[in-house]
Amino acid sequence: MAKPFDELRERLLRAGAAPRHVRRYLSEVADHLADLRAEEERAGRSPADAESAALIRLGGMDDLAKSMIEQRQFRAWSARAPWAIFGLAPLFLLAGVWFVSLLILWFGWQVFLPGADTPFGHRPGTHRIFELANIYFQLDRLLYFAAPVLVGWGIGLLAARQRLKAVWPSVGFFLIALIGGLAQVQASRTAVPHGLGHISMSFAFAPTIHGGPFGLLQMLLLPMIALPYLVWRFRKAHSLSA
């Protein structure tokens, strides 16, 4: 977007306007400015004078921003209901990713280890099957443990695009790190006789998660979850000071 509208874009985003509406609005303003500039040039003004006159006719930044900010339908949901976008939505998204991960775990259990009591720590008999099963289960573990980080990065990206202050994104980061740190999975035909496919998930202060020695240490992922947003905040502050 042209530099004359950089300030307008920032003001609209900080006021809660959705980025897609901001892009469309600035495109319309730019087209209108081009028409005004063309009219001034046809009236005999030089390009520089035509640009200045067109900007005056277009109106000040306050008026241009106000005409959009006052229309509620252009506000982003992160501004309308931040408690839902940063408090509830990330938890539902994390639950969905974990559900997919556990479904993958169950499927691999049935295919690679049909007779095993648990898919954790079991080693198939042949080397070839072990290689395939190991890749399968390790990719599933990667999805499971990466889920809080990916959801947190999504929160940070949304907050950065919307130019939000750190309050609500921090709430989302903390909730994701907390739930990720307390979650643990059990998969056993004998220990989980009534679970969904003999797999259950609970949330407790325990030393293991999904068969791994992480437990509450996963709470240390909080800085990693918030890292992209923190980097954006640092770069923003640095650019303003410069």
Domain regions of the chain by residue span:
3-74, 81-241
- CB neighbour class for 187 (10 Å; exposed up to 12, middle 13-18, buried from 19): buried
Residue corresponding to tokens 């400015």: 33
**pTM metric for this prediction:** 0.78
Please spell the DSSP secondary structure of 64-91, one letter per residue.
HHHHHHT-GGGB-HHHH-HHIIIIIHHH
CA 217 and chain centroid, separation: 23
How does pLDDT run along the chain (242 residues), one tens digit per residue?
A: 446 688 889 899 988 899 999 999 999 998 999 999 999 888 888 888 888 888 888 888 888 888 888 888 888 999 889 999 999 999 999 999 999 999 999 999 999 888 889 888 655 554 455 578 888 998 999 999 899 999 999 999 999 888 888 899 999 999 998 888 888 888 998 888 877 789 998 887 655 444 444 444 555 777 888 888 888 888 877 665 65
Nearest one of 213, 212, 190, 93 to 151, comparing CA atoms: 93
Residue corresponding to tokens 């959801």: 151
- What sections of the chain are H helices per DSSP? 6-14, 19-42, 47-58, 61-69, 77-80, 82-83, 89-112, 127-161, 167-182, 222-241
